[in-house]
């Protein structure tokens, strides 16, 4: 669900594929694959989904999308049969078949669009799943996550509390009311979060806060971590510590409070990000511009049951959404 950023290269003539774990999709082995024509309504709908005007190559619709980290994908806009399970099949599913993919995709086979635009998986399967899905993002060890379409399944339905989506466009805007560090609410004006708004996004790693909010969070966190030696910053993470001489560490608790009395009481993995064996960094960053929207990233979503009731206009969050594996401990 990563937000688009700017216009990528405009042609699919260049083929550039990174190394991926799974087999690369080859259209010639599909009997149900077809290209989308440039003159079709589906091609015209690309701009709402990508933020960019579609291109055309040999009468075939060409998409282009660039993300906030400057990764981009350019390729042909196509349709094929989507099989989520042996019994859950979506005919004429529209998607992008990338020809030029560059950036921080690592070894993943592709990106799954879970936004509110008409071309997302959520919208294209609305008749089957009712625009309702949930997930839990597991930590690297000790638990197993899930992605569930529809109301069945999930891991923490009894503990889920709902907050309304704040705005109605392709992104999932939420209303942050306050931030609590070490049991104390930070002195942040509500206007700070209202200026550009805040979205929840499963494709962004680090939570981005308005600079005023981040400065208050960082200051309070630094006070709570005063006994630990600092370490140089790493990339966008500027608040880091050297824990090489410590076997136990006490970290200030951080909670993000949303409208509807929904509170994300972050676990250790949602507060600190490891960099090597002994260095850890506060897993938040500030936006450079007050006009940049905030993003609740996937590091802070780990282990929570996150429920998107798109049709109902609300987001649910509950603790303990991932299946625990006791043998891991």
Tens of pLDDT, residues 299-329: 999 999 999 999 999 999 999 888 764 433 2
pLDDT tens digit string along 54-75?
999 999 999 999 876 778 899 9
Is-above-0.85 flag for pTM?
yes
DSSP-based three-state secondary structure for 158: helix
Say which range, 204-208, 216-220, 249-253, 283-287, has the weakest mean pLDDT.
Answer: 204-208
**The pLDDT value given to residue 2:** 52
Provide the sign of the torsion angle of the four alpha carbons 172, 173, 176, 181, taken in this order: positive
Compute CA distances 131 → 127, 257, 309, 315, 329, whole Å.
Answer: 8, 25, 7, 12, 37
- Per-residue pLDDT, averaged over 1-17, amounts to 57
Helical (H) or strand (E) element with 42: helix 41-44
**The pLDDT value given to residue 7:** 54
Burial environment of residue 235 by CB neighbours within 10 A (0 to 12, 13 to 18, 19 or more): exposed
The partner residues of 49 in beta bridges, in order of sequence, read none
Q: Where are the alpha helices (DSSP H) in 202-285?
A: 211-224
**Overall residue count recorded for the chain in this entry:** 329
Ordered domains of the chain (ranges, CATH)? 16-111 (no CATH), 134-319 (2.40.70.10)
Give the percent of the chain with pLDDT over 90.
69
């Amino acid at each position: 669900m990563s937000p688009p950023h700017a216009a990528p290269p405009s042609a699919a003539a260049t083929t550039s594929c990174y190394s991926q774990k799974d087999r690369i999709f080859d259209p010639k082995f599909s009997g149900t694959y077809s290209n989308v024509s440039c003159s079709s309504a589906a091609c015209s709908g690309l701009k709402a989904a990508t933020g960019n005007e579609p291109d055309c190559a040999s009468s075939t619709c060409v998409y282009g999308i660039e993300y906030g980290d400057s990764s981009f994908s350019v390729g042909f806009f196509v349709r094929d049969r989507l099989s989520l399970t042996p019994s859950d099949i979506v005919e004429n599913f529209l998607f992008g078949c990338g020809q030029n993919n560059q950036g921080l995709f690592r070894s993943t086979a592709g990106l799954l669009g879970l936004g509110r635009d008409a071309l997302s998986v959520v919208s294209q399967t609305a008749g089957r799943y009712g625009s309702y899905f949930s997930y839990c993002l597991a930590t690297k060890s000790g638990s197993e996550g899930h992605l569930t379409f529809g109301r069945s399944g999930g891991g923490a339905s009894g503990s889920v509390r709902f907050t309304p989506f704040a705005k109605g466009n392709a992104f999932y805007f939420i209303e942050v009311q306050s931030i609590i560090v070490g049991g104390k609410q930070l002195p942040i004006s509500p206007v700070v979060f209202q200026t550009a708004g805040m979205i929840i996004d499963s494709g962004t790693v680090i939570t981005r806060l308005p600079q005023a909010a981040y400065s208050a969070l960082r200051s309070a966190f630094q006070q709570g971590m005063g006994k630990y030696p600092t370490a140089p910053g790493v990339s966008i993470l500027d608040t880091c510590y050297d824990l090489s001489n410590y076997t136990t560490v006490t970290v200030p608790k951080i909670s993000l409070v949303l409208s509807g009395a929904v509170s994300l009481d972050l676990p250790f993995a949602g507060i600190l990000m490891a960099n090597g064996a002994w260095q850890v960094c506060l897993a938040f960053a500030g936006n450079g511009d007050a006009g940049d929207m905030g993003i609740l990233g996937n590091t802070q979503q780990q282990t929570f049951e996150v429920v998107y009731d798109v049709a109902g206009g609300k987001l649910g969050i509950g603790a303990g959404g991932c299946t625990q594996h006791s043998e891991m401990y």
